[in-house]
Amino acid sequence: MKKLVIFDMDGTIYLGKDLIPGSLEAFQYLNREKIDYVFFTNNSSHDLDFYYKKICDFGIKCDRNKNFYSSTEIAIDYLKEQGFKKLFVIGNKSLKDKLSKDFELVTKYNEKIKLDAVLAGFSTELVYQELRDACLYLQTQDVPFFATNGDYRCPIENGLYIPDCGGMIEWMRLATNKAARVMGKPDPQVIYTLAKMFNIDLKDVLVVGDRIYTDILVGVNAKVDSVMVLSGETKMEDLKKYPYRPTYIINSIKELPDLLKKI
């Protein structure tokens, strides 16, 4: 039996405002079996309080401090460890407000200002000036380029999608010839960090998600078991496009309790 399950949210537990059938029962099972779980999102357009309220409103039992983590926290921890102080950030106000507690944020391009890094996050408040200024810094200064995530699109209701951070940083790469280092999934540090937090061996970790190139690949990179649900972005026919595979495939989170009983 696994001891820690790391869940994606969008496309795995819910689609936009709609809870995926079976989600409540799956978490009731985890609680009964005393299996720890973490909601991990690559989406940096909202803070963790937003996700905590959303999950609670669905009726799922959770703890704000124990059960939630995101690519934003991974990025902040890394940037602080590297001693970076001055950043140019593309992202929503919630991301910038959080970063401003630990870093000095530069808001406009100025050739006289020396940056430590450029950080891009999923932004639903994006304006062209931010992209322009970030690209200018990346071309005129030898600064590292980071992104909270590399997801190309974000699933919403009715099987539709909206652009995500991956497409944005690809646009920036084409303009600057600099590729971003993605700090969230599929970087295996996500798994290592959470396993350490819960004091659990990697063999006892399971990753569950709907995106093969982030949720499943992070499991592959960290060498832990993964479950792909078909309720979100990735469909069975998409698997042939990739050289790696999930450990298990289920239709939706509704089937997770039965799977956990077998592994």
49 in a structural domain: no
Give CA–CA dist 111/41, Å, rounded.
35
Write down the pLDDT at residue 118: 98
Question: Mean pLDDT across the stretch 215-233?
Answer: 96
Domain identity same for 221 and 143: no
- Whether residue 215 lies inside any domain: the answer is yes
Terminal C-alpha separation, the chain: 6
HEC-encoded secondary structure of 147-178: ECCCCCEEECHHHCEEECHHHHHHHHHHHHCC
Question: Based on the domain organization, do 161 and 191 belong to the same domain?
Answer: no
Q: Is residue 73 part of a domain?
A: no
173 and 88 co-located in one domain:
yes
Is 256 in the same domain as 173?
no
Q: What is the mean pLDDT of residues 187-194?
A: 94
Token readout for 83 is 């001693």
**Are 91 and 151 found together in one domain?**
yes
The yes-or-no verdict on residue 161 having pLDDT over 90 is no
Answer yes or no: is pLDDT of 72 > 80.
Answer: yes
Residue 222 is predicted with a pLDDT of: 98
Segment 220-238 shows an average pLDDT of: 96
Mean pLDDT (the chain) is 94
- pLDDT given for residue 25 in this prediction: 97
Average pLDDT (164-177) is 95
Residue 256 belongs to a domain: yes
Give me the mean pLDDT over the 23-33 stretch: 97
| Boundary-marking domain end, from 182, 209, 226 | 182
Residue where one domain finishes, among candidates 154, 182, 210: 182
Strand-pair category, 153-155 with 14-15: unpaired
For residue 159, name the pLDDT band (cuts at 50, 70, 90). Answer: confident
User: Average of pLDDT values for 99-120?
Assistant: 97
- 175/189 same-domain check: no
**Does 125 share its domain with 167?**
yes
Tell whether 166 and 210 lie within a shared domain: no
Q: In this predicted structure, what is the pLDDT of residue 43?
A: 81
Q: Is there a single domain that holds both residue 104 and residue 178?
A: yes
CATH number of the domain at 237, please.
3.40.50.1000
What is the model's pTM?
0.82
DSSP string covering 15-68? ETTEEPTTHHHHHHHHHHTT-EEEEEE---SS-HHHHHHHHHHTT----TTTSE
pLDDT of residue 174: 98
Model pLDDT for residues 110-132, shown as the tens digit of each residue: 999 999 999 999 999 999 999 99
Answer yes or no: is 197 within a domain: yes
Name the band, by pLDDT with cuts 50, 70 and 90, for residue 212.
very high
The total number of structural domains that make up the chain: 2
Query: Is 90 exceeded by the pLDDT of residue 257?
Result: yes
Whether 16 is covered by a domain: the verdict is yes
Residue 60 resides in a domain: no
List pLDDT tens digits, range 56-70: 999 999 999 999 999
3-state secondary structure (DSSP) of residue 194: helix
Domain that holds residue 173: 83-182
At residue 44 the predicted structure's pLDDT band, cuts being 50, 70 and 90, is confident
Which of 153, 182, 211 is the last residue in one of the domains? 182
pLDDT of 143 reads 97
pLDDT confidence of residue 155: 76
In a domain, 202, yes or no: yes
Residue 156, pLDDT score: 78
The per-residue pLDDT for 120 is: 97
